[in-house]
Amino acid sequence: MYQARSQRHFLLPLLTVAYMLLLAYASLFPLSGWQIPVYENWLDAYEVRNRYITRTDLTTNFLVYIPLGLLAYIWLRSHYHWKVAGIIVLLTSLALSFTLESLQLFIPSRVPSFVDLVMNILGAAVGIAIAHTFSEHTNLGQRFQFLRHRWIKPGHLANMGLVILGLWAISELSPIIPSLEAAHIKKQLIPLSLVLEQPELLKPKLFFIAVLQLSALLYLATTVFKDSSRAIRSFFWFCVLIYLYKLTVVNRLLLPESILAVPIAISLVHITKNFSKQAIVFAIYFCIIVAYSLGQLGTLSSQAGYFREMNWIPFYSYIASVRQFTEIATTSWEFLLLAYAFIYLQARNSLLVMMLGLFGIAAFTLTLEVGQQYIVGAKPDITNVLLATLAWLLPWLHPLIRRRHSLNSL
C-alpha cells in the first residue's frame, strides 16, 4: 500500500521541487558577479528597492508563486490535514522567498524588496486557496467532482486533457491582470471592428494558425468528454468566456483572427467528430505541428546578411517580464497534447515511441530555432526546445502511464 501511494504521488513532489528550482534560477539570474554587499545595514537594501516598485514587479512576484502554492498543497494535502498542509506550504514559500531575496543582496544586478516577499506569499496563498476550493473536501469541490463525473470520462488521461485546456487558457490570458476601463475595452475591440469593415485586413497566417490550434483543442475535448456534441458546445462557451475576459487583460491584444477562427474550427471538428481514434490523433498531430511551425517561422521575410544569434541561456528572455515568463504555457500545452494524443491511441511499444518522440521533438524544435536566426523579427531561443521536450516527456512519467499494462484502464 505504501508503495502504491508513493508511486501515485511521484509526479507532484518532482514538479514542486522543479518549480522551486526554476524560481531560484529566475530570482538569482545571472548567477554571476557575486560580492559582499556594501550596505551597512542589510535593511537599507530593501528600502532602496521599495522606492522603485512597478506594477510589473508586483504582478510578476504575485503570479509566479501561485503554481508553487497549488502544486505543493495538492502534494501535501494527501499526507496531512488541509490546515497543516496549508501552513507548511505558506511557511515553505516564505522561507524560499526570504532566502532568495536575501541572496540577491550579493548580486549587484539584483535588488531585494520586502514588497516582493509579500507578493510572493500572497501568490502562494492564492495557489493554496485554488487547490483547496476545488478539492473534494469542499462543497464547491464536490460539485465540481459531480459535474466531472457526469460530463467527463473517468481516469487520469482525462485529467491530463483538462490540464492541457487549462494551460491553453493561461497562455491566452497571461498576465491575467484585468482592467475594466471603458477606454481599454474599446481599444481591444478596434481590430475586430476594422476587420469586419475591411475583411482584407485579416491576416491569413494568424487566422490559419488559430484555426489549427482551436481544432486540435476541440479534438482533445471530444476525447475528454463522454459526449462529443456536449464537448463541442462546452468548448464554444469556454472560448467565449476566455475571449470575453481577454478583452479586459492588460498588455494583451484580442486578435480578430482568433475570434473568427472559433466557428471555423467548430465546423471542421463537427463534420469529423465520428472519425476513428487513429484519424483524430492524426488530425491533432497535423494541426499542432503545422501551427507550431508557422508560429515559429515568423514572417518568413529575410534580408541579405541578416543574422540574429540564438539565445543559449535557458529562460533568459522569460525572466524579463511576467508575460514572457507565463508564455511557458504556450509552448507546453502544444507538446503535452502530442504526448496525450499518442497515449490516448494506446499503441504498443510505448517506451520506444516515447524515446523516438523525445529525440524527434528535440530535433524538430531545434531546427526551427536555428532557422529563425536568419528570419527578420524572429527570436531564436533554446528555451523553446527545452520546454517542448519536457512537455512531451512529462506525461510519460505518470505512474499509471509508465506501467504499460495499465494504459488500457486510464
Local mean pLDDT, 10-residue blocks, the chain (410 residues): 46 83 81 68 56 68 88 88 91 92 79 83 93 82 84 88 90 78 84 88 91 96 92 94 89 87 94 87 94 78 65 73 63 91 78 86 92 78 90 82 48
The pLDDT value recorded for residue 400 is: 64
The answer to whether 297 touches 225, Cβ cutoff 8 Å, is no
Q: Cell for 353? A: 515511441
Predicted TM-score (pTM) of the model is: 0.80
DSSP state of 225: B
- Compute CA distances 250 → 124, 168, 174, 176, 253, whole Å: 22, 18, 9, 8, 8
Which residues are CB-neighbours of 200 under 8 A, at least 6 positions away? none
The pLDDT value recorded for residue 224 is: 93
The pLDDT value recorded for residue 86 is: 92
For residues 222-247, b (16+ Cβ closer than 10 Å) or e, as one string?
bbbbeebeebbebbbebbeebbeebb
Q: In residues, how long is the chain? A: 410
The pLDDT value recorded for residue 328 is: 75
The pLDDT value recorded for residue 333 is: 92
